[in-house]
Structure 1
Amino acid sequence: MAPASDDDIVRLGMAKGGMTLLDDQQAHALYAAMGPAREISGGSAANTLAGLAALGASCSFIGQVADDQLGAVFAHDIRAGGIAFATPARGAEPSTARCLIFVTPDGQRTMNTFLGASQYLPADALDDSVIADAAVLYLEGYLWDPEEPRRAMRRAIATARGAGRKVALTLSDAFVISRHGDDFRTLIADGAIDILFANEHELAALTGLDDFHDGIAALAPQVPTLVVTRSEKGAHAVCSGEHAMVAASPVAQVIDTTGAGDLFAAGFLFGYVRGAALETCLGLGAICAAEVISHYGARPEADLKAMVAPLLG
């Protein structure tokens, strides 16, 4: 992660606020163009689990790193956060995935991702017993793009549903929907997804409807629980016909929006597995998202348990 100006974003040909996939050569070239940077463990689903673990949930992570320095750092950080991580590392090539994030003065993050070893997560790396024991299987849309982890996620969904567990999916980014929207629509139509997370742009991309409320009305009947975030405009959720909404939690200064959706999902899921009211789940998500955008990096730094305690009573 590195600070950048809006002129830098234009000069380097990036789409501000979006996520672009890079190959290894592009990743090295863009890294060379970055200013002084901070190296921080990340990954969408991993960030969500970091938030859940900080709140006190029991979590396991399934994902692929390489046998290299970045892979060792990632594995250390996720285990140090109290999250079980037993997926064996691949060889040194391709290297561990990394995301080059440029943060502009308005706190907006522009992401450029080399998927590296993560796109080779094999289905046989899954521990079916871990999936079957979990209350919720949480999947990130980013890894639906490569073929091998897509097969692994399909197997994970089948395992979770066979064990009577809930399946949650975050759509991750509109570009993923542009490539795999039909797959996601089929999963939803088949009843494979119990909890769907989206932001308002992803909602529009999935439904083809520009109006936010029209999109909610079209999609909510198709999924048991729909959660849609709207940045500073708060968040909405619909669960079995019940509607709820919350305002965004106040932040003294937005430093970096990286991980806002990931941590919102963490707070929501923490409330969900505890059987909290729908509005409370949204409130927990808003608190966690506000914490993570108040500093650099996509993992919590403050005491989330203390922050959410007033809401949980």
Structure 2
Amino acid sequence: MTATKYDVLGIGNAIVDVIAMTDEEFLVREGLAKGSMTLIDEARAEALYSLMGPAIEASGGSAANTLAGLGSLGGKVAFIGKVKADALGAVFRHDITAIGVDFPTPGASDGVATARCFILVTPDGERTMSTYLGACQGLNAGDIDEEAVKAAKVTYLEGYLWDPPAAKEAFRKAAAIAHGAGRQVALSLSDSFCVDRYRAEFLELIRTGEVDILFANDSELKSLYETGDIETALAAVANDAKLAAVTLGADGCVVIERGERVYAPAAPVDGSIVDKTGAGDLFAAGFLYGHVNGFGLKRSAELGALAAAEVISHVGARPQVELKALAAENGLV
């Protein structure tokens, strides 16, 4: 087996988030489904940006956020994703490497711009996303670093990769390399609307064992099994998945492995919930850090809950404090 270099290698959409506060009326006026992620073209991206209020730009992308969380916990991590060699691409590269993530994928010299996700946050902290994938769509199987995948304990993939066809092939190639090297593959379902688009394919990945660890929130899991009842969905995933970690909002989370269920409560938020962007991403970061370090299901889930609570206490999808220190204060590392 190739020597371990990384705890987790993540593959996902390299995106710069543009975050603004808004109200319900704006969402209705612009025809945006609250809490969803919608893919948009460049023209719509420019139009939406012109209508938004004052915004904060911060590097994002689901898998990249998870890796940023892992890096903040002290994990050894790397990211594969595509940006253009433009201003936003430089922002993304700086931010992810500054937090300790290896990012060897070169920027594209031509083609469309670096991806942007316009995140509108309502007063209840819910986020509604409109994403222009841009250069992300250039990610393909040729970008997969075989040796890096072999050297990672877990290869972590985001469900959003299923939208660009070439990225889907990159996903499958990485999963095959990881399993060939005796490593694990993790998948985040990413978004209930994403699940609606690719339900059959996601179920196949889970049921055939192409995915070893599944991350989902309650809405995504109910969408996956086309039920309005979370208990029905949990029973179904217990039959299908090797290991599933499901977040339940204020009710905490449940981890299911070989029929065993382990529950963990939601961690208290310092202050109030400001922005739920990245909550699931950071839960995955905490859980994966615990998983690769042998912490056990409950402690890993508690670490995930703590990381999620930190990120929803402020605007932006990446931690603003060192998670390793925060975890130590709470007796989790």
Cα distance per residue 1:71-99 (max 9 Å; x no partner):
01101111111110011111342110110
For the pair 1:122 / 2:140, whether they are aligned, the reply is yes
The alpha carbon displacement at 1:303 in A equals 2.1
**Partners of 1:256 and 1:68 in 2: CA distance:** 28
**Partners of 1:106 and 1:166 in 2: CA distance:** 36
Q: Is the 8 A contact 1:108 1:256 kept in 2?
A: yes
Q: Is the 8 A contact 1:280 1:311 kept in 2?
A: no
Q: Residue 264 of structure 2: which of 240, 246, 251 is its match?
A: 246
Q: Is the 8 A contact 1:171 1:197 kept in 2?
A: yes
**Partners of 1:32 and 1:263 in 2: CA distance:** 30
1:276 aligns with 295
1:141 aligns with 159
More strand by share: 2
Q: Is the 8 A contact 1:204 1:215 kept in 2?
A: yes
1:170 aligns with 188
Cα distance per residue 1:158-201 (max 9 Å; x no partner):
00000000100000011111111111111112111110001111
2:6 aligns with none
Q: Residue 234 of structure 1: which of 231, 249, 252 is its match?
A: 252
Cα distance per residue 1:104-135 (max 9 Å; x no partner):
11111111100111111011111100000100
Identity %: 52
Report the AA paired with residue 274 of structure 2. Answer: I
2:5 aligns with none
Other structure's SS at 2:60 match: coil
1:109 aligns with 127
**Partners of 1:122 and 1:283 in 2: CA distance:** 35
The alpha carbon displacement at 1:205 in A equals 1.1
Report the AA paired with residue 130 of structure 1. Answer: A
- 58-67 or 8-17, which deviates more: 8-17
2:311 aligns with 292
For the pair 1:311 / 2:331, whether they are aligned, the reply is yes
> Which aligned segments of 4 or more residues in structure 1 are displaced greater than 4 angstroms?
none
**Partners of 1:50 and 1:81 in 2: CA distance:** 6
**Partners of 1:213 and 1:159 in 2: CA distance:** 34
Report the AA paired with residue 291 of structure 1. Answer: E
The gaps in structure 2 that reach 5 residues or longer are 1-18
Q: Report 1:1-313 matches (<5 A).
A: 1-251=19-269, 252-309=271-328, 310-312=330-332
Report the AA paired with residue 280 of structure 2. Answer: G
**Partners of 1:123 and 1:274 in 2: CA distance:** 29
**Partners of 2:231 and 2:300 in 1: CA distance:** 20
Other structure's SS at 1:261 match: helix
**Partners of 1:33 and 1:147 in 2: CA distance:** 31
**Partners of 2:74 and 2:253 in 1: CA distance:** 23
**Partners of 2:197 and 2:124 in 1: CA distance:** 29
Cα distance per residue 1:254-305 (max 9 Å; x no partner):
0110000000000000000011121111100100000000001000011211
Q: Is the 8 A contact 1:284 1:311 kept in 2?
A: no
Other structure's SS at 2:57 match: coil
Q: Is the 8 A contact 1:63 1:121 kept in 2?
A: yes
TM-score scaled by length of structure 2: 0.92
Cα distance per residue 1:133-169 (max 9 Å; x no partner):
1000000001111101000010000000000001000
The alpha carbon displacement at 1:240 in A equals 2.1
C-alpha spacing 1:312/1:44, structure 2 compared with 1 (3 Å) = same
TM-score scaled by length of structure 1: 0.98
2:8 aligns with none
The alpha carbon displacement at 1:223 in A equals 1.3
The gaps in structure 1 that reach 5 residues or longer are none
- 8-17 or 168-177, which deviates more: 8-17
**Partners of 1:257 and 1:312 in 2: CA distance:** 23
**Partners of 1:11 and 1:279 in 2: CA distance:** 43
